[in-house]
Structure formats: C-alpha cells, structure tokens
Amino acid sequence: MKIGLIGLGIMGKPMAKNILKGGYTDLLVSDLNQAAVDEVVAAGAKAASNQEIGESCDVILTMLPNSPHVKTVMLGEGGVASYMKPYATFIDMSSINPVASQEIAAELAKKGVEMLDAPVSGGEPKAIDGTLSFMVGGKQEVFDKFKPLLDTMGGSVVRCGDVGAGNTTKLANQIIVACNIQALAEALTLAQKAGVDPQLVFEAIRGGLAGSTVMNAKAPMMIAGNDQPGFKIDLHIKDLNNALDCAHSVGAPVPMTAQVQEILQWMHNHEGGQKDHSAIAQYYEYLTGIQIGR
C-alpha cells in the first residue's frame, strides 16, 4: 500500500515517522517546509509533490491547520483530488469544521474516492510516542481497512459515526480541554493568592475527582512557567471557533466555551498565540500580578 502524507508540522512530522516505524515504508510526504520534509526523508520516506501523491498513492492523509487549507489542498485548482485514482481513500487528520469534512467527502464521492475524517488529540508528546487518540468518522468498512495504519500513530482509534462525526467529537474534546485548562489556571491562582504552594495543591488533588490528564500535563507547565508549545493557543482558538460555529448551527448552548475563547483571544492579542495553551495561566498572572509557583 502506497501512502501519501501532506502536512509535516508539529504533529505531522512525528506522525509520519511513526507510520514508517509501523512498517508502512512506502510513504510519500509533502510540506511547504523543506527542512521538515528532509527530516522525514532521512527517516525513510520519499519526498513528492502533491500531484505525485495524488497520482500514485492508494491512501492520502493530511495534517493541516484548518478547513480552508484542507479544501485548497484537496479541491482547489490543481488540487490532490483531481489526480486521485477511483477507489483511493482520503483520510483527513486535521481538526476542522465537521461541515467542511462532509462537503469534502461529497466532492470526493463524485470521483469514487472514500473519506475518513480522523482528527487527533494528545498534542506533540503523544504524536511523538505514537499514543494519540483518533476520533474517526466514515463508513465502517473503510475504518476497518485503515485502522491498522492509524494504530501506528495512536493508542486509541475509535469510530464515532459517519463522516463529520470525527471532527464533531474533536470539537467536544477541545471544549473539555480548554475549560479544564481555564479551571486549572484559576485554581492554582487561588492557591497562590491564598498563600498555599500550588505544587502541593496539585499533588494533593491529582488523585481525586479533580484529577485529569489535562491537569497532569499542564499543571507542571504552569508552575514552572513553561509555555513551550505542545499545542499552540492559536490552534486552540481555531478549534473553538469551529466549535462555536457548529454549536450555533445546531442550537447548542456553549457559554463556557465562549468565555474561555475570549481569554485565549486576549492571549493572542498580547503576543501569546504561539505559546502552549497552558499559558492561559498568564492571563491570570496579568490580572493578579503574581506568578503561579514562583
């Protein structure tokens, strides 16, 4: 099986390496960043143009920033879809609006091309160690065929329904993660202001009901003042914009999502967009004049 992967950013690059490690060595890759391409080629992949990927690959994966990027790469003038073989498969691992996923799938179906939307959660650390969580939408038989490929990159690969269900699930995931990070920042700020060591608060509550994967990953970063991105604030803003758009279209109330989005947007406007989303704690540091744990 010949595989194409377009998009070798923070997530896509280690995911490509894990595909190779998983035994899928006939891998063609493409990205605007030549250094990223060179690094994955050194690991065993082959560099190719998007046209070459479309013409020669049985399955094409994308890991791109947002809906417009996926639509342009696949359906734009000279897009990959125009070169794909009938009965090839497209797997979009980007986190985009589920409506866009359904629109892309409908266009590809006219060419006899199947599609899965398969966004991931876990950030760079889990992309590196191959334990991402995949939330997949698409036909059961297509999912079953390509689950072993996704397993090379993920510790959890779950079909959530038809095309669009994967990205709907990812939006739900991103709401939960964002609201958890905001709550964690508020709680650690409260501890600091009350004269209690945030590190000890974290150690005391992490094993109880408040404990979570989010807390375990982000509390140490907040306490250390580490804002190096595993998942950037600007990307989370993008995801929550998609969540708000989807919620408005289906009539779902999301007031907490709207609130945390405003805080993330404040961070973006104060040169925080490229920081890790745990840097939301810096919003509270700005308000209080204290630094959590320091």
Bridge-partner residues for 134, per DSSP?
A: 120, 157
DSSP 279: G
Burial of 163 (0-12, 13-18, 19+ CB in 10 A): buried
Helix extents (H) in the chain: 12-21, 34-42, 50-56, 67-75, 98-109, 123-129, 140-151, 165-193, 198-205, 213-224, 233-250, 255-269, 281-288
> Is residue 191 within 8 Å of residue 210, measured between CB atoms?
no
Please tell me the distance from the alpha carbon of residue 29 to that of residue 17, in angstroms, as a whole number: 11
Please tell me the distance from the alpha carbon of residue 209 to that of residue 42, in angstroms, as a whole number: 45
In the residue annotation, 170 being an active-site residue is answered as: yes
Q: Which residue is catalytic, options 17, 71, 126, 170?
A: 170
Residues assigned a catalytic role? 170
